[in-house]
Chains A and B, each alone.
Chain A
């Protein structure tokens, strides 16, 4: 197999598997935040700000996978 084909397949695998974990984690954190806002609507401002920051942290994992995939596709030293 040529290295270009392998890196394309690996980029697809990296993004698809790497987005599963953050998706589950974001779902859980949004559900927990909804729960907290339903219990305590007056704290909605603080909760949603913390939620946004937490979501950004979680999403970074998926973005890392995306960057790895881009490196494989565009900046791969073995498949130049």
Chain B
């Protein structure tokens, strides 16, 4: 039986800061993504080779999804949301590698990602509509809704965190239980399912972040409803 999924053991300390295993895994993912991005974007050409074509499919796909949700030029949002998606995919799927535990299966990594989304929503909202206009949007459609709007900012960030954490963690938990009970080959279908869940959750995390940002930057109140 593994230890509590709500805490993680310290690996070592750097001064007063304790470094846990998910943090080290995150560092390795960051290095891999940075080196991979550098390698895949050097000498871009007008006539793309296979490597560049794959990159363009990915970037164009993400940009198209963002454009569909926000109904604006996706370029200001592409760096943040694309990085979020690629990092979430890498983090969720890293649990498939033997001996590696997905950093998103511990609560601190989803909490950090959700906090980034929370701050980005306000940043893009203030940038698109000015501080006064953005603050005024909390009192829509009536002033009575102000506490509810403020509350929903907090709860949706919390649910963003809990959703990613719960899905990835429960998948790893089930696999660990089946390994302990049944041994070698039985967990393989579950691991395949875990790959699917990891991809879908990364997609959902990014789409929800896009919806929240889209609601914050929308020009008219009619664009702001919908899924937010």
Contacts and interface: CB of A to CB of B under 8 A. Distances in A.
B170 interface: yes
A67 B162 contact: yes
A50 B225 CA distance: 13
Interface residues of B, number: 22
A53 B208 contact: yes
24 contacts: A45-B68, A46-B68, A49-B65, A49-B207, A50-B227, A53-B204, A53-B227, A54-B227, A59-B163, A60-B162, A63-B163, A63-B167, A63-B170, A66-B166, A66-B170, A67-B165, A67-B166, A70-B4, A70-B5, A70-B6, A71-B6, A74-B4, A74-B5, A75-B6
Contact of B207 (A45, A53, A67): A53
- SS of B interface (majority): helix
A21 to B, nearest CB: 16
A60 B65 CA distance: 23
A56 interface: yes
A70 B107 CA distance: 12
A50 B162 CA distance: 20
A: contact size bracket:
10 to 19
Given A70-B6, A71-B6, A75-B6, A63 B208 contact: no
Contact of B200 (A52, A67, A71): A52
- SS of A interface (majority): helix
B81 interface: no
Interface in A25-56: 45-46, 49-50, 52-54, 56
Given A63-B163, A63-B167, A64-B162, A56 B6 contact: no
A52 B163 contact: no
Nearest to B201: A56
Contacts of A64: 159, 162
A70 B165 CA distance: 12
Nearest to A46: B68
Given A53-B204, A74-B5, 5 more contacts: A46-B68, A56-B163, A56-B208, A64-B162, A71-B6
Contacts of B167: 59, 63
Contact of B4 (A49, A52, A63, A75): A75
